[in-house]
Amino acid sequence: SQELEQSPQSLIVQEGKNLTINCTSSKTLYGLYWYKQKYGEGLIFLMMLQKGGEEKSHEKITAKLDEKKQQSSLHITASQPSHAGIYLCGADMFPYGQNFVFGPGTRLSVLP
């Protein structure tokens, strides 16, 4: 089984709708990173969360890390076609420094 789970696996939304992607672990996360990937391209770093309860926003994307530091959500407000792609979470897990893992990704399509 994956150390990081993401849900949903894929998502199709109408332009202008809000959406949420989740990243979950059974272990405590020392740092949670969100990346975006367009098909066939590299990953672009979006945000990093470290503290329980932390929340960060960039333009229309907000990421939160829960108090237990085992779950993160990525929320997109008023989605646009430019938001389409694969969103991956990545995390530092115990023991710190060696075991950075990625989730399987969530594929987002935004219909105009």
Partner 1 sequence: DGGITQSPKYLFRKEGQNVTLSCEQNLNHDAMYWYRQDPGQGLRLIYYSQIVNDFQKGDIAEGYSVSREKKESFPLTVTSAQKNPTAFYLCASSLQGTRGYTFGSGTRLTVV
User: Footprint of partner 1 on this chain (CB under 8 A)?
Assistant: 2, 4, 9, 31, 33, 35, 40-45, 48, 88, 90, 92, 100-105
| CB-nearer residue toward partner 1: 13 or 48 | 48
* Partners of 85 in the β-ladder: 108
Minimal distance, residue 81 CB to partner 1, in Å: 21
CA neighbours within 13 Å on the CB side: how many for 105? 12
Write down the least CB distance from residue 103 to partner 1, Å: 6
Kindly state the smallest distance separating residue 84's Cβ from partner 1, in Å. Answer: 17
Q: Which is nearer to partner 1, 33 or 110 (CB)?
A: 33
If the CB atoms of residues 73 and 104 are measured against partner 1, the closer one turns out to be: 104
Pair of tokens at residue 98:
């060696």
CB of 98 to partner 1, least distance (A): 9
Distance CA 44, CA 3 (A): 21
CA–CA–CA angle 14, 21, 45 (5° rounding)? 105
Please, is 76 exposed, middle or buried when counting C-beta atoms within 10 Å of its C-beta (0-12, 13-18, 19+)? buried
